[in-house]
Amino acid sequence: MSDAPLMITISGLRGLIGKTLTPTVAAQYGQAVGMWFKSQMKKPTIVVGRDSRPSGLMIQNAFVSGLSAVGCKVIILGIATTPGVGLMIGRLHADGGVVITASHNPIQWNGIKVLTSQGIAPSPKKAQQIIDLFHQNQPEYVPVTKIKPVETDSTLTKIHARTILRHIDVDIIRRRRIKVVLDSVHGAGGPETLVLLKELGVELIHLYAKPTGHFPHGAEPTKEHLTELATEVKKHKAAIGFAQDPDADRLAIVDNKGNYIGEEYTLALCAKHLFAENPKAKKIAVTNLSSSRILDDVAAKYGGKVYRSAVGEANVAKRMQKENALLGGEGNGGIIWPKIGYVRNSLVGIALILEMLAKQDKSLSKIASTIPSYAIVKDKVDIKPGMADTIEPALRSVFGDAIFDTQDGVRVDWKDCWVHVRPSNTEPILRLIAEAPDNAACEKLIAKCVQAMGL
């Protein structure tokens, strides 16, 4: 995607460093974000963190110059996880936050993600307001006497861990002395997660812990990128292997036998644990349209209910708040636990699953085997202008007898399978995801979609 355009969507801004994302673009986006915050309150304070990418400091400095130029007060956190930035907004009594990150994208990418005062991404309506301000490019600069000095804060690493530890059974995990292999992919998650795991007393083998930003393998925590993690789990006879993405909002899991369980099981396992541990609470979970139905199966065992939203944590978080959900998240390994915040958080997933292992005193492979398994096939194609408008009529022409959900692209449901086709919010691609009893059925569904749309 060497000619990929600058992506400015409800999920923030992403681009290729030195091509579509330059210091000039970052400063312009900083001005737009700053003006949007000033339209919400008179004197906004914004916390800013970045993942470990080599381009991060450059983009951060340019972006912060834009915020300062329009009169925002800025507190810089340094290298920080996305959920950590969300947490620090409240701790520092700030009005919002920004993370310089491109999540799982390769090293040549970077991006800018905005969080509101609640620590969540802006709603689509508010995100569009920021986009409009960016394109208008008419910043309202403040006089030099009103430019606020930039401050720094270095307390995130300890605060993040301590906040999570208050809500789990630390003692039982310490007593079990669980052996863990963690792959932090040289991302932002290493330092914060290390503090958490030290407090939990695990025996840790930490792969790629330093936040250098030079990813040793593909940054997305998928099966093909985690063969080394699986090997290390078997080599050290560990109870579990965890893999984070560069900004540590996603978590994938390898079981005690070295098998990649995958991102979809992260949310299902956390739901299984929290439903069991909270017998008097309403068993409500929220996920997006592209996530596996294994969450529905888990909820059904506990008399619970699953609500689905459009893809994107802002949409999931909004539905969670509406339904007063016990937890939520996405099938990409993103766990949202309201006790900590409404941002996907790999540290939360790690803590909850370790607590589950300690309390059940069973191997992860045995626990996971109690959750039904489905095949999921994910595909993507480069998107072309106008393609998004053809999805629904094309799919209705071949799947007219099924159940359609059009709140985010098109999801088509049957009794034992589903397919979801939607434009990505973060890349110039069209995503096609199918779930069915086996791979062949998934591939057949995707092939029908591709043929119907003339791809």
pTM of the predicted model as reported, rounded to 2 decimal places = 0.92
Collect all residues with Cβ–Cβ distance below 8 Å to 351 and sequence separation of at least 6.
164, 165, 168, 196, 200
Structural domains in the chain, CATH included, are 7-156 (3.40.120.10), 171-368 (3.40.120.10), 375-453 (3.30.310.50)
Q: What is the sign of the dihedral through the CA atoms of 71, 75, 76 and 82?
A: negative
Cβ proximity of 48 and 77 under 8 Å: yes
Beta bridge partners of 286: 307, 328
Q: In the numeric block, which tokens belong to residue 435?
A: 């779930």
Question: Given this model, what pLDDT does residue 384 score?
Answer: 85
Question: Given this model, what pLDDT does residue 1 score?
Answer: 44
Q: In the numeric block, which tokens belong to residue 76?
A: 């810089």
Strands annotated E in 310-439 = 327-330, 334-336, 375-382, 403-405, 410-413, 418-423, 429-436
Cβ proximity of 34 and 71 under 8 Å: yes
Cα–Cα distance for residue pair 96/77, rounded to 1 Å: 13
Q: Is 103 a catalytic residue?
A: yes
Question: Given this model, what pLDDT does residue 3 score?
Answer: 60
Per residue of the chain (455 residues), give pLDDT as tens.
Answer: 446 679 898 889 999 999 999 999 999 999 999 999 999 999 999 999 999 999 999 999 999 999 999 999 999 999 999 999 999 999 999 999 999 999 989 999 999 999 999 998 898 899 999 999 999 999 999 999 999 999 999 999 999 999 999 999 999 999 999 999 999 999 999 999 999 999 999 999 999 999 999 999 999 999 999 999 999 999 999 999 999 999 999 999 999 999 999 888 999 999 999 999 999 999 999 999 999 999 999 999 999 999 999 988 888 999 999 999 999 999 889 999 999 999 999 999 999 999 999 999 899 999 999 999 899 999 999 888 888 899 999 999 999 889 999 999 999 999 889 999 999 876 778 999 999 999 999 999 999 999 999 88
Residue entry with tokens 């339904």: 323
Catalytic residue among 52, 103, 290, 346: 103
Collect all residues with Cβ–Cβ distance below 8 Å to 156 and sequence separation of at least 6.
49, 77, 78, 80, 84, 85, 87, 88, 192
Cβ proximity of 265 and 295 under 8 Å: no
